[in-house]
Amino acid sequence: MLSSIVVEVFWCELKSYRVSYFTRANMVIWVLQALGGWKDELAYCELLLKDDIFNNSAWNQRYFVVTRSPLLGGLGAMRESEVTCTVNAIMEHPENESPWRYLRGLYRNDTQALVQDPQVASVCLKILTAKNNYVHALSMLLDLLCHGFQPSLEIRNAVYGLSDSGAQGSDLVKVVCSILELVDPMRANYWKWRRNMAPAQAAQCLKDDGLTGLSL
């Protein structure tokens, strides 16, 4: 576990700006590529996340290992198990943005797989139904909708349940954006822009991905 030697040097600095993520990551990457030591690296990432599931640097390192390790078979071979692991992390702390970003990364350059994977829609539904810490679930659902995802009645009702009674039957993308404008005020202008751009975004995504009639 050669990279762990490097990380141990900065163990007390993992959450400090004195040693940036890029400095740590570049050193770990150099060690792995130059000297090897891939064997225990994924397990070490799991230890870091067990210690602090909010450790974004550990999530980034895990993605590097999953996608670059010559021992794991690449993202295609690891995706199913990694999605399951990530969904579990999301269910534990749905307010944690890092696993949501990691989940998107697992489908990099394969939007169709993201839309079609039932685990993704399922975790969104569970978080939305719980009505607690659902900002990132709504954001993920918005991305799915803009890529041709056809939501079930359960998902529609879960979203409408987060809005006012007058939203029932309204365009779901606009309802999602309107809710996000209220519950995520720091990015209200961004969600307003997404709401206004929704028709054009949906048309472009469908053109790019060729996704029609998909439902999970």
pLDDT of residue 157: 94
Average pLDDT of every residue of the chain:
83
3-class DSSP state of 152: coil
The verdict on 183 and 92 lying in the same domain is no
The verdict on 49 and 25 lying in the same domain is yes
Whether the model clears a pTM of 0.75, i.e. scores above it, the answer is: yes
What's the domain count of the chain? 2
Per the CB < 8 A criterion, the answer to whether 74 and 38 are in contact is no
167-197: per-residue pLDDT in tens? 676 799 999 999 999 999 999 999 999 999 8
Map tokens 């048309």 to a residue: 203
pLDDT of residue 25: 58
3-class DSSP state of 215: strand
Cα–Cα distance list, 88 to 53, 103, 115, 122 (Å) = 11, 11, 19, 12
Per the CB < 8 A criterion, the answer to whether 54 and 136 are in contact is no
pLDDT of residue 213: 33
Longest dimension (CA), the chain: 61
pLDDT of residue 202: 55
pLDDT bracket for residue 116 (50, 70, 90): very high
Give the closest residue to 98 by CA, choosing from 154, 36, 54, 162: 54
pLDDT of residue 10: 44
The torsion angles phi and psi of 40, rounded to 5 degrees, stand at: -105, 10
Among 65, 87, 109, the domain boundary falls at 109
32-87: per-residue pLDDT in tens? 665 566 778 899 999 999 999 999 999 999 999 999 888 899 999 999 999 999 99
pLDDT of residue 66: 94
pLDDT bracket for residue 12 (50, 70, 90): very low
The verdict on 83 and 124 lying in the same domain is no
Rounded to an integer, the average pLDDT of 149-171 is 87
The verdict on 140 and 71 lying in the same domain is no
Looking from the CA of 203 toward its CB, the CA atoms found within 13 Å total 4
Q: Which helix (H) or strand (E) holds 9?
A: helix 2-9
| Rounded Cα–Cα distance for residues 169 and 127 (Å) | 21
pLDDT of residue 198: 78
The verdict on 145 and 50 lying in the same domain is no
Which residue range(s) make up the domain with 146? Answer: 113-216
pLDDT of residue 170: 78
Among 109, 137, 172, the domain boundary falls at 109
Which of the pair, 24 or 145, is modelled with greater confidence?
Answer: 145
Distance of CA 187 to the CA centre of its chain: 18
| Rounded Cα–Cα distance for residues 211 and 207 (Å) | 8
